[in-house]
Structure 1
Amino acid sequence: MNTTLTTLAPGARLGRYTVQRIQTLPDIDATFYELRHDLGARHVHISRDDDNLTFCVSFPTVPSDSTGVAHILEHIVLAGSKHYPVKDPFFSMLPRSLNTFMNALTWSDHTAYPFSTRNEKDFFNLLGVYLDAAFFPLMRKETFLREAWRLEYATIDDSASELKLQGVVYNEMKGAMASASSQMYRALGKALYPDLTYANNSGGEPRDIPNLTWEGLRAFHARHYHPSNAYFYTYGNLPIERFLEPIEAQVMSQFETLDLDVSIPDQANFAEPRTLDLPYASSDTEKGAQSLVAWKVSPSHESFDVLRWNVLADVLLGNPAAPLRRALIESGLGSATADGTGYHEDFREGAFSAGLKGLSADKAEQVEELVVETLRAIADEGIPADLVDAAIHQLELSRKEVSNAGWPYSLKLFFRFATTWQFGGDPLRFLKLGEDLSRLQRERQAGDFFERMIRDELLVNPHRVRLTLVPEPALAERTEADERARIAEMSRDFTDEDKARVVGEAVELARLQEAEDDTSVLPTLELADIPRTVPRTEYDADDIKPGVTVGRSAQPTSGLVYLDVQLGVPHLTPEQLDVLPLYAYAVTRSGAGSLDYVGLARRIEAHTGGVGASTSIGTGPDDLGDLRASLTFSGKALSRNAAELVAILGDLLTDPKFDEERLSQLLRQQRSGMEAGVVSAGHVYARGLATAQLSPAAALAERQDGLTALARLKQLTDEQGAPSVLRQFETITEALKSARARVLLTGQKEDLQLDLTPVLAPLTGAATGLLRPELRARTPQARTTDVPVSYHAVAYRTVPYSHPDGPALLALSTLLASKYLLRELREKGGAYGGFATYNAQGGLFTMLSYRDPHTRRTLEVYRGARDFVHGGTISADDLKEAILSASSNLDPLTSPDTIARLRFFGDLAGYTPDKQEAFKARLLDVTLEDVRRVFDTYLREENAAYGTVTGKDPNPETADLGVVYEVARI
């Protein structure tokens, strides 16, 4: 393969690849290449002047049951392969890499393996590991037992002890399926497509996972993970041959063509609407239900169909002023839109759905009537053209923006077409919307286009389901009882030989987990590959008045303008600080200036790419007691709308309009969102409970965003507390006008003279103050809720950023995470995750578990960390990899929208490039003696603070360890 990009043309051959299409993508300065391999593999390559090299291979995977075979296979292929026969090459590569993204993902009907990195050597290291894993996994029996499921005695070598079901995925899905959002999504697939693969849980239903066999898993891999069933994606600034050659050499040359059919047929249409009620574990029988009305709509492989449904969904539901969303919220039937509300193109035939949560189950029929009647009224009265224009504007802006915020931009491009590509859709049409947008505008001009969609494809469409999640307080206990009964049934006829087999498998698995791998077979980087500098993005800054600083930075933003207004709030009272996150949530969702919340929402939608407000808490680089808190208003817009963006932010700063009814709605929505997050982010809440005992900054953060904040929200909503919050909001608005302000404008050079007067004029910068939040007493904290697994945290206070020990603590965290906690908590303990983190800017060190079946054992693991650090098993390579991994945390992936923000606000906070480079230089010199010393200095048991989120009182298991929790119900 020596053809250059400039000589390529459709029909050209690159080895056994045929170039099918080449198209420029001028909006993002890129070129699209579509290729087909002789084996049948499809390949899209996007050539772009971006060093964040990216790869993904995905496979249509269509399970015929809910054993979780596709999900479990995703775990197991990453756990040892032909050329890398170690236990966990995926996790072993994390500390050997400078990746900007690395993961594997399973959807209802496909599985993908993406990664990205800015280091060319690293890219090809990871490429070799990913290709070998996907196509040549070892899929050992012991890996199946570890990751999928196994029977195991509580004391593994004692058959007289309690018999349990264990497995990483088994425990992961016990936690995942405790989430209402996961339950709703699974129910959506089951209800709308009962005859297709979507009726199954590709992640795995805990009750069905034990039906999966090792042989069945291997057969599923053979059927689905073959080049003839593969979709490849590459991206970056290297010649296309550099990507194709290793794929050909390492994979394609090893296979023959295979005739596969993993297609998904159409779902037969329903003759009449249906209903489906599902129980889920919740003790809130009064307000814990959700009801969703869902339709099967047009196929997801036609780009125009996907476009028109995305636009209609945004018109109906996309913002607080959207007519269907507004009708749902203002009905008072529930507190927030139901999980699953919106348009779903990730099914072969799309789905549109809308509903409410935070209601009693007996209101489900009213929700359905409300959705249908509101849609009928919208169709009859007509949709104002400006609402559709605004929705199209949002779509165009999102397609124009080049941002690595959230996900790498390279993968955002891929996910625009990844799902529909496997359904036969044209990936290029999903990247170049011009033709479809032109068609949409022609259809609109003919009149009544979206109204006819509502009438013809929703109102008279009998393929409709009303889904209701019904809270059942006893479900968790019944599920546990069912699990015990299942185990009893599986072991009813156990002979002594069967018991010995279970003991033998567990003992052997434990032995293999303890055995040291020869990870030298894995590729790695060296410390010399780590860049020793940090970006020094240029900006101009002026103090336009005392206490008000304005920065302007020219960046290649593709015609967008970004504006950030950061207000220091040390002068707020403790009561005001407690409700400040509620203020941030409400201020952009209420009214401003002369507009109510509906008018403001439409103004924001029509002229910007979104505005938001957020709170942040931090400390200075030299003193953990130097506490800073701020409220930041941010927004973005196309340059032609930049003046309107400034005007909107000006109104939000100086003249927000709150009213009691709307605020009551927002408080209920915020409560619903936080309650839903407990199951998915339990480790974050557990960490907050622990760190609040150690640091004033963490104590304030927990009061604002942790379980203390959720308890406050519950009280406010239960006691109709909007009037008291409203009074606080009025005082906050006045106080913000005197806040010390830092304002940053990012855009193309010609946009930097934008007049910022509407934002700057009212700011006086005169306020002063000193934050002194109350520190929570050092008492272990536990919160119980409806989860069958646990989330455990232990935390320690350490040193400020500029202290010489900070880099060693960061290296220690990555060393513990990759070499100790992963093995002890996940591989041996069956938890889905085990982490160690070090917040260098907050001086807090934590160890965490995620979706953990254990309590006492996990605390014992935490206490065993010192023995690991001092045990003599840590090699020079282990330390090198820990430093590599730690250094990647210091060099985040940036883009034009974020790079100036990091520099400007970092400089003003004292985290200058010089200090960052000094931190990195000390990190590269960390020794094993440093790691042991900082462990003994800071991670002593007498300094430990504990936090837990769990399903039951942990004290019976932990009291004799000296950890006695103060327990409360969430």
Structure 2
Amino acid sequence: MGGDIEKQNTVSISLLLSDNTNVYETFLMQFLSELLIKGPNAPFYKSMIEPNFSGGFTPSTGLDHQPRDCVLTIGLQGVKKEDFDKVAVLFDETINSVVENGFDPEHIESVLHSYELSIKHEEKNFGLNLLFGLTPIWNHTDKIMLALQLHHLIEKLKTELKNNSNYLQDMVKQYFSENNHRLILTMSPDKDFETKLEKAEKQLIKKKTKGLSDKDKKDIYDKCLRLQKQQQDPGNTDLLPTLTMNHISSSVECVDKVQVTLNNIPTQINKVQSNGIVYFKGVLHTNELSLEEQMLLPLFCYVIGKLGTNRLNYREFDSLINRKTAGLRFNNHIAESLYHLHTYEPGIVIATHCLEKNVESMWDIWSQLFNITELIDVERFQMLVQLYTANLTHGIADAGHIYAMQAAASLVSGTSYQVELISGLHHIAYMRRLLHTSNYKAMLDEILNIGRIVFDRKKIRVALNISSENQSDVLHTYENFILKLPEAKSNIPSDTDGSTYVTGKIFAPSDAVNCQHHIINIPVNYCSKAILTAPYTHTDYPKLSILARLLTSKYLHPELREKQGAYGGGARLTGDGVFSFYSYRDPRNVETLDIFDKSHKWLEEQFDKITDQDILEAKLGVFQTVDAPIPPSAKGCEEFHKKVDARY
């Protein structure tokens, strides 16, 4: 699934930096790391990414402050062996250039702004993220309160910058240029790796068993039998702490929301405690696009905010975005119908948030994007396409079960088939074929054409999460913004009539068992089986959700994880009514599919042994996701995405 093997090399340069018990010093290293790496205005992005000789930064790039000795890593993936030395030279040249010339003031402002915004923005797992962030320093010192006082750290940095215009350059010189604690690590693929690994494992087994007597072998066999018996015994779990249904509130939090039409654009206003932030989300429906254009939508979402506008080049536009907002997000949107199988709304979700003082700048940024009339930087586009394609394959080893479930679901659900086309293994294969054509000018023209079609005021609906105190001011600027949106000539009716749902095509006949086998160069398997059941509003849907949790905990996890050695396994029910079995990092495959198939038999044989406590735990597992905390930025958004009437 990857690129040419001669480019499947990785090189990383790591520097030993601060002691994480020095709170300000570690904060400063984090700040410098983002200045050096983040975005097209960052020095390392300019010197290492834009020349386009690699597949982009490695996932480990950045500051690691988990150990007491903090380490900064700059890594490139998808490079040729002969470019290893080139990377080391570029590293030194970039650092020396920063020491001599410093950073762009607007780039410094954008990183400072991201810190200011992050303080006010509340995430879903705020408490957990806070604890995880404190854990590294908590392991080594008691300066917890100092680490929490981010405002003081920012103010100290601003004071240093004010008192010494060369402060950051001096810090880069001290910690990077004059730092001899450096390690360069390279990694290259071996075509014969699997063969060598298999041979080494056989030799290891032979070595381990060579000196075993018959008595030793019998002892090992007896121990295995005892282990097998112990695995089949669930043990006494009554001693473990557990929730009860009484811990779950029977009341549902109601979001104060209204749905209005402003200048012919459906708008949902969610009144929340936003902490001085304006959250903007929009759905652009795409059912006017051809199949080929729909296949290009993920690429469109990746590149459209990175190519600049009619007024600003991509560097200037990126700087403006990061100084005024939390960044622009574009995502594919396949919202399954709550009422009908194979029916969904195709589209693009656009989103960002900003401080209330920057709301007019945020609208100006979106207005520039919506009114793009030309894209001419083919070289920039080529680099982005190659980065996008390189990144597609890197998640397969970690999320292979997701790809497997999606591929299986696409064989039974028209909705899942559409998702597979634009985000699954089919999409990866499509992008690899497209990349081989090397016709980047034609691709860029197609991206611009997609923009002309979807950036249309008749195709958008909007959700705003704002505080009640500043609602009138925000809505006034919002109305001015939507008046500037283009309106394309189209036969597609506007979103106001609710006709944006389509019925998807089913990939395979519904009366046959259909199979796919994707061969990937990974020594483990990811297995899935999908069965089409009922839509979300069907009375059987909650029962099937509980059944999935019950099968996971009582049958699939013990069989797949505890007995068969897979890293994980279970069953899930998705919103489009697909009941999916899966295994994760599984040493077996055929045996796993047999276990999936025996689920019904297990239920028949064990039904009388299933206790009320088992059912309760399955219900609690379902409520774990249903009853999860919702941050201010996401309140009302589930209804918005699924087009649930505001009265419910």
Q: TM-score, normalised by structure 2?
A: 0.92
User: Match of 1:492, as an amino acid?
Assistant: K
CA distance in 2: counterparts of 1:621 and 1:524, whole angstroms? 32
Secondary structure in structure 2 of the residue aligned to 1:633 = strand
Matches within 5 A, 1:59-78: none
Counterpart contact for 1:692–1:702, Cα < 8 Å: yes
In the alignment, is residue 474 of structure 1 matched against residue 192 of structure 2? yes
Shift of 1:705: 0.5
Q: CA deviation at 1:522?
A: 2.9
Classify the secondary structure of the residue corresponding to 1:294.
strand
Query: Post-superposition shift, 1:561?
Result: 1.2
Corresponding residue SS for 1:786:
coil
Structure 2 counterparts to residues 70-109 of structure 1, below 5 A:
none
- Could you say which residue in structure 2 is the equivalent of 1:814? 549
The answer to whether the 8 Å contact 1:290/1:358 transfers is: yes
* Structure-2 residue corresponding to 1:69: none
Secondary structure of 1:799's counterpart equals: coil
* 2:22 is the alignment partner of 1:302: yes
Matches within 5 A, 1:93-132: none
2:464 corresponds to 1:733: no
> Counterpart of 1:746 in 2: which secondary structure?
strand
Matches within 5 A, 1:447-846: 447-546=165-264, 548-655=265-372, 658=375, 659-738=377-456, 739-753=458-472, 754=474, 755-756=477-478, 757-759=480-482, 761-762=484-485, 764=487, 767-768=492-493, 771=502, 773-777=504-508, 779-839=514-574, 841-846=575-580
Matched AA of 2:299: L
Question: Unmatched 5+ residue regions in structure 1?
Answer: 1-280, 915-970
Q: Distance in 2 between matches of 1:379 and 1:735?
A: 46
What is the deviation of 1:657? 5.7
Q: CA deviation at 1:536?
A: 1.9
Aligned-partner SS, 1:539: strand
Q: Check conservation: 1:301, 1:348, Cα contact below 8 A.
A: yes
Give the CA deviation at 1:763. 5.4
The answer to whether the 8 Å contact 2:343/2:504 transfers is: no
Q: Could you say what secondary structure the match of 1:472 adopts?
A: coil
Q: Write out per-residue CA displacement over residues 542-569 of structure 1, whole angstroms, 9 at most, x where no aligned residue.
A: 12255x2012222112111111111111
Deviation, 1:751, is: 3.0
Structure 1 residues 181-240: Cα deviation after superposition (integer angstroms, max 9, x where no partner): xxxxxxxxxxxxxxxxxxxxxxxxxxxxxxxxxxxxxxxxxxxxxxxxxxxxxxxxxxxx
- Distance between the aligned counterparts of 1:361 and 1:464, measured in 2? 20
Alpha-carbon separation, structure 2, partners of 1:723 and 1:283: 21
Distance 1:537 1:302, change over 3 A: same
CA apart distance, 1:517: 2.5
1:830-869 deviation line (CA, Å, top 9, x unaligned): 1110121001x21111010001111121111111111211
Question: In structure 1, how many angstroms separate the alpha carbons of the residues matched to 2:486 and 2:577?
Answer: 33
Q: Is the 8 A contact 1:590 1:657 kept in 2?
A: no
Identify which of 35, 39, 50 aligns with 1:319: 39
Deviation at 1:888, TM superposition (A): 2.6
Secondary structure of the residue aligned to 1:624 is coil
CA distance in structure 2 between the aligned counterparts of 1:809 and 1:762, rounded to whole angstroms: 44
Amino acid at match of 1:541: Q
Describe the shift of the 1:696–1:760 C-alpha distance in structure 2 as closer, same or farther (beyond 3 A): farther
Q: CA deviation at 1:437?
A: 2.2
* Deviation digits for residues 624-657 of structure 1 (CA, Å, limit 9, x no counterpart): 1322111011001111111111211222223276
The equivalent of 2:605 in structure 1 is 871
Q: Distance in 2 between matches of 1:835 and 1:723?
A: 45
Partner of 1:901: 637
* Contact residue 835 and residue 847 of structure 1 kept, 8 A: yes
Q: Secondary structure at the match of 1:782?
A: coil
**8 Å contact from structure 2 (residues 336, 576) kept in 1:** yes
The Cα offsets for residues 428-480 of structure 1, whole Å up to 9 and x where unpaired, read as 11110233223212221212111122222212222112211111121222122
1:287 aligns with 2:10: no
Letter in 2 for 1:466: I
Q: TM-score, normalised by structure 1?
A: 0.62
Listed as ranges, the gaps of 5+ residues in structure 2 are 494-499
Cα deviation digits, residues 99-133 of structure 1 (max 9, x gap): xxxxxxxxxxxxxxxxxxxxxxxxxxxxxxxxxxx
Q: Using the alignment, how far apart are the partners of 2:579 and 2:453 within structure 1?
A: 34
1:737-769 C-alpha deviation (Å, 9 max, x unpaired): 345321111122233232123245425496346
Q: CA deviation at 1:483?
A: 1.7
Q: Which has the higher contact order (CA 8 A, sep 6+)?
A: 2
CA RMSD across the alignment: 2.1
Would the aligned equivalents of 1:510 and 1:828 in 2 still touch at CA under 8 Å?
Answer: yes
Match of 2:583 among 838, 841, 849: 849
In the alignment, is residue 383 of structure 1 matched against residue 103 of structure 2? Answer: yes
- Describe the SS at the equivalent of 2:420: helix
- Assess, with a 3 A threshold, how the Cα gap between structure 1 residues 883 and 913 changes in structure 2: closer, same or farther: farther
Kindly state the Cα deviation for residue 575 of structure 1 after the two structures are TM-superposed.
Answer: 1.0
Q: State the alpha-carbon separation in 2 of the partners of residues 815 and 530 from structure 1.
A: 19
How far apart are 1:521 and its partner, in Å? 2.8
Residue 891 of structure 1 pairs with residue 614 of structure 2: no
- 1:424 Cα offset (Å): 2.0
**SS of equivalent residue, structure 2 residue 12:** strand
Q: 1: CA distance between counterparts of 2:232 and 2:647?
A: 42
Letter in 2 for 1:464: R
**Paired residue type of 2:342:** G
Q: Which has the higher helix share?
A: 2
- Residues 483 and 593 of structure 1, relative CA distance in 2, 3 Å threshold: same
Q: 1:453 aligns to what SS in structure 2?
A: helix
**Matches of 1:647 and 1:375, distance apart in 2:** 35
Equivalent AA in structure 2 for residue 555 of structure 1: V
Alignment of 1:337-348 (within 5 A): 337-348=57-68
Shift in CA distance, 453/528, structure 1 to aligned 2, threshold 3 Å: closer
Structure 1 moving runs of 4+ over 4 Å? 281-284, 763-766
1:573 counterpart letter in structure 2: S
Cα deviation, 1:20-64, whole Å, max 9, x if unaligned, reads xxxxxxxxxxxxxxxxxxxxxxxxxxxxxxxxxxxxxxxxxxxxx
> What is aligned with 1:415?
132
Rounded to whole Å, the distance in 2 between the matches of 1:704 and 1:731 is 18
The 2-side partners of 1:358 and 1:333 are apart by 8
State the one-letter code of the partner of 2:86: Q
**Identical-residue share of aligned pairs (%):** 24
Is the CA contact 1:542–1:551 (under 8 Å) kept in the aligned structure 2?
Answer: yes
Cα distance change, pair 815–398 in 1 and its aligned pair in 2 (3 A): same
1:662-714, CA deviations, whole angstroms, 9 ceiling, x for partnerless residues?
22111111122221101000001111111111111111111101111111222
Counterparts of 2:175 and 2:28 in 1: how far apart (Å)? 12
Give the direction of change, closer, same or farther, for the CA distance of 1:819–1:656 in structure 2 (3 Å limit). farther
1:888 and 1:305, CA in 2 relative to 1: closer, same or farther beyond 3 A?
Answer: same
Q: CA deviation at 1:511?
A: 0.7
Equivalent AA in structure 1 for residue 211 of structure 2: D
- Picking from 600, 612, 618, the partner of 1:882 is 618
Who is 2:497 aligned against?
A: none
- CA change 1:654–1:725 in 2 (3 A) is same
Q: Output the CA distance in 2 between the equivalents of 1:880 and 1:350.
A: 45
- Seen in structure 2, the aligned counterparts of structure 1 residues 434 and 618 have a Cα distance that, compared at 3 Å, is closer
For 2:158 and 2:620, the matched residues in 1 are separated by: 52
Alignment partners' CA distance in 2, 1:289 and 1:656: 39
Q: Would you say the 8 A contact 2:343–2:414 is kept in 1?
A: no
